[in-house]
Chains A and B, each alone.
Chain A
Amino acid sequence: MNLLSLHTLAPLLKLCFSGNPLVLLTASGLLLLASGMPACLFSRTSNTGQRITVLLMGTGSAIGLTGWFRAVSAAKPFFWMHPWSLPWGTFSIGVDALSAVFLLPILLIPALGSFYALGYHPQSGHPQSGRGLEFFYGMLAGAMLFVVLARDSVLLLMAWELMAVSAFFLATTDHDDPEVRRTGWIYLVATHTGTLCLMALFVLLRHIQGSFNLAALPANLPPPLPATLLVLTVIGFGFKAGLMPLHLWLPGAHANAPSHVSAVMSGVMLKMGIYGIVRLLILLPPLPIRDGAILLALGALSGILGMAFALGQKDLKRLLAYSSIENIGLIIMGIGLATLGRSLHRADLIALGLGGALFHVWSHSLFKSLLFLNAGGLIHALHTRNINRMGGAAKGMPWSAALFALGCIAICGLPPLNGFVGEWLMYMGFFRSMDAGLGAAWPAAGLAAAALAMIGALALACFVKLYGVVFLGLPRETGGAAPHDPAATMLIPMALAAAGCLFLGFFPQTVQPLLQQAVLLWTPSDLQPFPLPDSLVWISRLALGLTAVIITVCALLFARMRRQAAPNAMPTWSCGYARPTPRMQYTSTGFAQTLVALFAPLITPHIRLVRIQPPFPKTTSFETDVPDTVLDRIVLPFFRLTGRAFPTLRLLQQGRIQVYLLYIILMVTGLLCWVDFFR
């Protein structure tokens, strides 16, 4: 009622004609939220509804992008507040450079994924789950958009919950499978544990400030408060981001969701956790050096262990999920460096750390979506997620192979592509931090550069393994139709993501103004801001030069090959073994074994080895598995233990009225005694 009255309508109309980009962004968010709804009215078996969904997603994203361009080109923050009839908070939204950075993946990736789903998850092929998937897919995108726009903690929490719950329904799309249900529940528990911390955080903020507005806190808070706020922020948003000890929901949920959902979850939804941390950290008063160092250490832990776990995986999508944890680790390292910069009053550390982190947010959302979408095509073609059963896919799927190779190069942080840019900015930051008087924190910053290098090396090993085992060599499973490239509807979104990777890799300076503005939000006003452009232009020249060299060398080699006689096609030499089979190729597990053994104390691989004793041994089998240490070795056993302990409490449930009344009388008497003796 209240919402419709003329009194409230007038400012809305005024806003609509004021050219405020928030109008377009809100419209886009509402369109995304509702994009799956019309499809629910169409038949289960027809694709028409899904096409309408794609159209709505595309339109919503296009409107949002227009608003985004207006907001970015205006280069100033926009804010709009409207009181509403809900009991708490106001509908206040805003967009500034930080929001704009995180808006871009939200406006791009879900739309690409929705288009991809036309080929990957057509409604006609999934009459049971298709419409629900489309409904929650749009809802997830819209909710994330409002998470980024919200300037009021109640609105933020509402959008946050909508996002978390739609992601739950998306992750459990194939809920006929008990494993999918299990991972879905783990996700739901984990995300709500995080939300619990966020509620505590926002209640504390409200207690300090007296309103739910997200505004900067006073600098002179009493001692336990800043640390408590930081811990709640990192845990609450860290659960969603998948920071290392809190990542327990991530691999299972990503592996069991449909691939375009995994792409959005990994590419965009994890970044909402990062957004929360980046947004909240500037509201807190300046943190001590120790806190920056802790963030650095957490990031490094996530990065190194995430990659170590990824190396051990044999499930294609679990591997990609662990690699997301590693990338989140990298981003957190960048944020840690920027936090150190704020504590030390060093504008260059803030610029390089935060700039690197934010750039990596874009990069990761592009190349991880590319890889997840590609993985979906692979799984369709090969009918398995197990890497050890794949092989030789490049012959039948040249386009997928090329795009996957591009994604791998990007994710390893190798020069001509976008993954390199963010990491390079962070490297420069770490090197510059060495000379600073860091005091107690210098080992953290010093070791961070080494950790970054180690993460890079592990990532390279992991993706060489992945690409080699999946695409090269011979197919391990013979029989069935030969794998072939997915349909154009699936290849085009991949190609677009790959184009984004290339563009950001070759011309990082184009996004420099936006990054610079975001960094300015983090830089205290009494500091001379540190300009980023030099390094970015330099990276662009390097990438272009390197590509030119590579192309020239390849062209020369190709020309030389043309002049020589064509070689005979021969099978690979198999050490003189008489009857080789494709199953004898290096497996993913075998390739990674040395590195996995190196991390064995931490990632505790589970190996079932059967000793072959007699001279004529029977048929036997060998199994390895890398369970998640936190989830399978700590959290689930703990829950099982408590699950066994709690039924003893059922002794209390006697079923007799007299006993229940006795409980009451005991309680009352106890309370009376307490009042009497202890007050």
Chain B
Amino acid sequence: MNPLLNALLVLVLALNLFMLGTSRILTVIRMVTLQGILLGVMPLLVHEHAGLSAALASAAAIILKGIVIPFMFIRAMRDVQIKREVEPLIGFLPSMLLGALATGFALVFAAKLPLVGEHTTPLLVPASLSTMFIGFILLTTRAKAITQAMGYLVLENGIFLFGLMLVDAMPLIVELGVLLDVFVGIFIICIIVNHVNRAFSSLDTRRLATLKE
């Protein structure tokens, strides 16, 4: 039980809700960056004697989520010249409430999961589930492709949190592989965002419905 880890997890949860509540895309990118850096620190805190592999994973996560990906996002945003998420499917306040509800559900649900108690702080699993749910909410309620990509990243952050429980069991290579996947995914999304903008003169993914048969 590490008090610092708990504090960080609470911060992650707060960032989640903050992300749901703001319309400025640049702010969301900063939140995601901050969340990424916090997650990057965590492998070092989960276990008392963190080895080389934890340090490596931590460094890779911080570099990727704290520097490379935000940089790509900001460039993409500059290319397509948008600043705000104007018309989400669900308003900002209702989606915040939904996020709070999902966090509550995650807490209740995690209490019922048959987990081995020793390697978890009580907040780790709920925070992970809640982050995943909030990533889903971002993905489903936002209309702009770039915000959805952010949702994808948040979803992955949730999975990363879950993976923290297994930091001993999971080999480093898997951890790095997952990070590489995220990187490639975001990379491709950033390219596609440009193309969507050019083809539809908008980043609104709802217009992609014209592609259905």
Contacts and interface: CB of A to CB of B under 8 A. Distances in A.
17 contacts: A653-B212, A654-B209, A654-B212, A655-B211, A655-B212, A656-B205, A656-B206, A656-B208, A656-B209, A658-B206, A659-B140, A661-B136, A661-B140, A664-B136, A665-B136, A665-B140, A676-B112
Interface residues of B, number: 18
Contacts of B209: 654-656
A652 to B, nearest CB: 11
A676 B112 CA distance: 7
B109 to A, nearest CB: 6
A662 B208 contact: no
A112 to B, nearest CB: 50
A657 B136 contact: no
B210 interface: yes
A208 interface: no
B148 A657 contact: yes
B112 A657 contact: no
B111 to A, nearest CB: 10
Contacts of A654: 209, 212
Interface string A641-679: 000000000000111111101101100100010001000
Nearest to B142: A658
Contacts of B212: 653-655
A199 B104 CA distance: 48
B109 A657 contact: no
Contacts of A676: 109, 112
A659 B209 CA distance: 11
Contacts of A662: 140
Contacts of A672: 109
Contacts of A664: 136
**Across the A-B interface, the 5 shortest Cβ-Cβ residue pairs:** A655-B212, A655-B209, A665-B136, A661-B140, A662-B140
Interface string B186-202: 00000000000000000
A657 B147 CA distance: 13
A368 B112 CA distance: 70
B89 interface: yes
A661 B142 CA distance: 11
Contacts of A653: 212
Given A658-B205, A662-B140, 5 more contacts: A655-B212, A657-B208, A661-B136, A661-B140, A665-B133
Contact of B210 (A655, A657, A665, A668): A655
Nearest to B129: A672
Contacts, number: 38
Contacts of B133: 665
B109 A658 contact: no
B29 interface: no
Interface string B31-69: 000000000000000000000000000000000000000
Contacts of A655: 208-212
A657 B206 CA distance: 7
A668 B135 CA distance: 13
Nearest to A673: B109
A86 to B, nearest CB: 34
B208 A658 contact: no
A654 B139 CA distance: 16
A668 B132 CA distance: 11
Nearest to A654: B209
B23 interface: no
Interface of A: 653-659, 661-662, 664-665, 668, 672, 676
Given A672-B109, A676-B112, A658 B210 contact: no
B22 interface: no
Nearest to A660: B140
B21 to A, nearest CB: 19
B186 to A, nearest CB: 16
A656 B145 CA distance: 12
A96 to B, nearest CB: 55
A24 B64 CA distance: 69
A657 B212 CA distance: 11
B141 interface: yes
Nearest to B143: A658
Contacts of B142: 658
A656 B140 CA distance: 9
A650 to B, nearest CB: 10
B202 to A, nearest CB: 14
Contacts of B205: 656-658
Interface in B165-213: 205-206, 208-212
A665 B206 CA distance: 18
A661 B206 contact: no
B36 to A, nearest CB: 21
B138 to A, nearest CB: 10
B209 to A, nearest CB: 3
B139 A661 contact: yes
B151 to A, nearest CB: 8
A654 to B, nearest CB: 7
A677 to B, nearest CB: 9
A658 B151 CA distance: 11
A665 B141 CA distance: 12
A665 to B, nearest CB: 4
A46 to B, nearest CB: 46
B26 to A, nearest CB: 22
Contacts of A656: 205-206, 208-209
A659 B140 CA distance: 7
A658 B211 contact: no
A661 B145 CA distance: 13
B136 A658 contact: no
Nearest to A659: B140
A185 B58 CA distance: 60
A664 B136 CA distance: 9
A664 B109 CA distance: 18
A647 to B, nearest CB: 13
B141 A658 contact: yes
Contacts of A659: 140
Nearest to B112: A676
Nearest to B141: A658
Nearest to B108: A676
Residue picked from A654, A658, A662, A664, most chain B C-beta under 10 Å? A658
B140, B142, B210: most-surrounded residue (chain A CB, <10 A): B140
A657, A664, A668 pick with most chain B CB within 10 angstroms: A657
A658 B112 contact: no
A664 B139 CA distance: 11
A412 B23 CA distance: 86
Nearest to A668: B136
B208 to A, nearest CB: 7
Nearest to B105: A669
A654 B205 CA distance: 12
A490 B139 CA distance: 72
Contacts of B112: 676
Contacts of B206: 656, 658
B153 to A, nearest CB: 14
A663 to B, nearest CB: 9
A658 B210 CA distance: 14
Contacts of B210: 655
B140 to A, nearest CB: 5
Contacts of A665: 133, 136, 140
Which one of A653, A664, A665 has the highest number of Cβ atoms from chain B below 10 Å of its Cβ?
A665
B22 to A, nearest CB: 19
A588 B109 CA distance: 75
B98 to A, nearest CB: 11
